[in-house]
A = this chain, B = another copy of it.
Amino acid sequence: MYSNELVRGTLKTIILQLLGEKDKMYGYELSKLVRERTKDKIVLTEGALYPILHKLEKEKLVTTIQEVVGNRPRKYYMLTSNGKESAKEKRNELLEFVETLRSLMDPKPSLSCSF
């Protein structure tokens, strides 16, 4: 599992991206999906997950539908059209950022000249 500080800041983008891949998803499902897709390397804890979802809802990037499945309440989250827009933007930003990081991590040997 990656150190927390690394994951920090990427969770919102990850959630928006995953929500964009299905019609609707609920919190617990998102949490499991992230663990599954990253082989537990990224763990979306509940204390992080729910506040983010609530914030996205407040920002009107997602809407919700409550259902009861097998006697347990379930809250589905869906991207609004603004949310879809935002998901695309954040995805692009993340991919660009990742490229920038890779180029930074590509060691530039200090210029040396053998002449």
Instruction: Show the binding face of A for B, using Cβ within 8 Å.
Output: 2-10, 12-14, 17-18, 20-22, 34, 37-38, 41-42, 91, 93-98, 100-105, 107-110
Contact = CB atoms under 8 A, between A and B. Distances in A.
Contact of A7 (B3, B9, B20, B110): B9
Contact of A98 (B17, B34, B98, B107): B98
What 7 A-B pairs come out closest when comparing CB atoms?
Answer: A5-B9, A8-B9, A98-B98, A6-B9, A2-B97, A6-B97, A38-B100
Contacts of A97: 2, 6-7, 41
A44 to B, nearest CB: 11
22 contacts: A2-B93, A2-B96, A2-B97, A4-B9, A5-B9, A6-B93, A6-B94, A6-B97, A10-B101, A14-B104, A18-B104, A20-B107, A21-B108, A37-B103, A38-B103, A38-B104, A41-B96, A41-B100, A42-B104, A91-B105, A98-B98, A98-B102
